[in-house]
Structure 1
Amino acid sequence: MAKLQPDLYVRSIYDIDLNMLKKRSISCLIMDIDNTLTPWNSSEISDKLWNWVQKAHGDGFKICLLSNNGQKRVKELSAKLGVAYIYNAAKPRRRSYQKALDIMDTTYEHAAVIGDQLLTDILGGKRMGMFTILVDPIDEREFIGTKVMRWIEGVLFRRHPFKKEETRS
């Protein structure tokens, strides 16, 4: 179960303390898209997200989007944000995480994985030995496969991210 325990839990990417990551010698961020950065299946970039990415870049962070989505949408989002990307990632397979490290010319010790799913994002990052950050999903709308994974997360870990009355630390 340790492979499914994130190193850090925050409500959203906007709650991530970038200075804390820098103190941990983390300079690269591998980020999920759907329900981590944007609502599911959306190609819209909010001003808040744009500003956060620009701040991260200004603070010296490299960013690579890592998504199980197809190329068209992932490429479009990466172009809008000015970041690297990997599509059809087959998370939580190690190969795509290693490719992200290679693209950013770094090692696992200097990278953090940020995502909203334990069984893909967090598991993949943990399998590579990276620092992992779990966020709550942005929206309840999701791909049917993700809904199944969330149900499994709920059964195994009592994680129900859409029950807003629940508080975790």
Structure 2
Amino acid sequence: MLAQFTPTWMINATYDINPQQLKQLGVKVVLTDLDNTLIAWNNPYGTEELREWMTALERENIQLVVVSNNSHRRVKKAVAPLQLPFISRALKPFSGGIRRAMRQYHVTKSEVVMVGDQLLTDVAAANFSGIRSILVRPIIESDAWNTRINRFFERFVMSAMRKKHPELKFRKDLINERNK
């Protein structure tokens, strides 16, 4: 049961994910959750650090695509200042949103990675889709009301997962990590 919630990598922050390392790993498309992964759920404008990371991805010819459970209207409004493509109503942890993005960008499972801050939605959706995942720490400590329920259960899953996989720790980069 824990396998469906176990990420490929655990990185401190989304912006710590090195685009050059992604390229070395064959990644052509980065799928990312929106709230508390790419932007703070209560700050739709993002940060300068985000823009620098997006530019670095672009330099490596890696497409960034938001895959969110939020409504089309909410995601469109949030990503408009960033001019990012998106898949809304992804229904994570189910794999439909990820599969839609893979079809749209014509990539194989080995050419895509899912980045998210939640085990029960983002990581599970990646695992159900057969792709690699990167669990990141949430940008801010507070969550929208609907995410707080997931966080409650996630604490138990994370505790059990760390007992089974003590090598899984939040780190600064992907290389020299589990499952290269």
Give TM-score, length-normalised by structure 1: 0.88
5 Å matches for 1:73-152? Answer: 73-152=74-153
Aligned residues: 162
Shift of 1:9: 0.6
2: distance between equivalents of 1:66 and 1:18?
Answer: 19
2: distance between equivalents of 1:131 and 1:39?
Answer: 23
Shift of 1:78: 3.0
**Equivalent position amino acid for 1:104 in 2:** Y
1: distance between equivalents of 2:169 and 2:129?
Answer: 26
Bigger RCO (CA 8 Å, 6+ sep): 2
User: What residue ranges of structure 2 are gaps of 5+ in the alignment?
Assistant: 161-167, 171-180
**Equivalent position amino acid for 1:141 in 2:** S
Tell me whether 101-110 or 122-131 shows the greater mean CA deviation.
Answer: 101-110
Secondary structure of the structure 2 residue equivalent to 1:74:
helix
Shift of 1:56: 0.4
1:114-155 deviation digits (Å, cap 9, x = unpaired): 000000000001111111000000112212221111111112
Shift of 1:158: 2.0
Tell me whether 144-153 or 123-132 shows the greater mean CA deviation.
Answer: 144-153
2: distance between equivalents of 1:63 and 1:83?
Answer: 7
Matched, 1:64 2:69: no
Q: Which runs of 4+ in 1 moved over 4 A?
A: none
Contact 1:115 1:133 in 2 (8 A): yes
Identity across matched positions, percent: 29
User: What residue ranges of structure 1 are gaps of 5+ in the alignment?
Assistant: 160-166
Secondary structure of the structure 1 residue equivalent to 2:45:
coil
Secondary structure of the structure 2 residue equivalent to 1:65:
strand
Tell me whether 26-35 or 63-72 shows the greater mean CA deviation.
Answer: 63-72
Give TM-score, length-normalised by structure 2: 0.83
**Equivalent position amino acid for 1:17 in 2:** N
Matched, 1:17 2:14: no
